[in-house]
Amino acid sequence: MSGLTLAVPRGALFADTLDLLDGLGVDTVELRANPRKLLFDTSGGGLERIVTMRPSDVPTYVEHGAADLGITGKDTLLEAPEREVYELLDLGYGRCVMVLATEAGEDRTAEALRRLGVVRVATKYYKTAQAYFEATGRQAEIVEVKGSVELAPLTGMVEAIVDLTATGTTLRENNLVIREELFVSTARLIANPVAHKLKAAAIDDVLERLRAA
């Protein structure tokens, strides 16, 4: 196969990713019309096939060679540091910020660290939160949750949360305020290391098209 397979994330990055592909000359009509279909044969933009999946699965499929290239958020890459993929390009869209937030008023994080030497933190991003507190020299008990993380401090289960926010609206609606910003997350283009060598010319061509777009 001379063309490339690209893993595309469903969800928040999907619409902007399809707009990007349009700019490369890829026909995205079928992708837009079939939300349940997962595999698409395509042409244009140096791509031969597109596969769609959850953003968190993109690094896995790229690492194992099921896709030569993938698009996913920086937050996903930092949460999966064990995945052996090359990060090629910051695509610039899907901007969000990973934050540490608590209830408004007195900073319960500082209070807990002062009083107990440890803070309880709820998050969907366990590895990210753990690495951040270790790097800043603070002890934290990380509680992994799958649903609405904003609920955790409101019920007293934790003092703080680590979460991704685009506008901060959900935080404000739940009387939470940002105390610290961990990093800015945007969409990134990643590559399978083997494909990066064996299909270097094709991947370089896609990179040039993306930079031009």
DSSP state string for 133-178: HHHTT--EEEEE-SS-TTHHHHTTS-SEEEEEESSSHHHHHTTEEE
Give the per-residue pLDDT at 212.
Answer: 86
What's the DSSP call for residue 65? Answer: T
| pLDDT at residue 100, rounded to an integer | 97
The fraction of the chain above a pLDDT of 90, given in percent, is: 88
CATH fourth-level superfamily of 4-94+186-212: Periplasmic binding protein-like II (3.40.190.10)
Q: Where are the alpha helices (DSSP H) in 54-94?
A: 58-63, 74-79
Q: Domain extents for the chain?
A: 4-94+186-212, 96-184
**pLDDT tens for each residue of 80-135:** 999 999 999 999 999 999 999 999 999 989 889 999 999 999 999 999 999 999 99
Answer whether CATH 3.40.50.920 is correct for domain 96-184: no
Which token pair is 170? 């959900």
Identity (one letter) of the amino acid at 188? R
Quick: pLDDT tens for 133-150: 999 999 999 999 999 999
CA neighbor of 91 nearest in space, from 109, 71, 76, 75: 71
Dihedral sign for Cα atoms in the order 68, 71, 62, 86: positive
4-94+186-212 and 96-184: same fold? Answer: yes
How distant, in Å, are the alpha carbons of 20, 28, 93, 114, 169 from that of 16? 6, 12, 7, 44, 21
pLDDT tens track for 14-61: 999 999 999 999 989 999 998 888 999 987 778 999 999 999 999 999
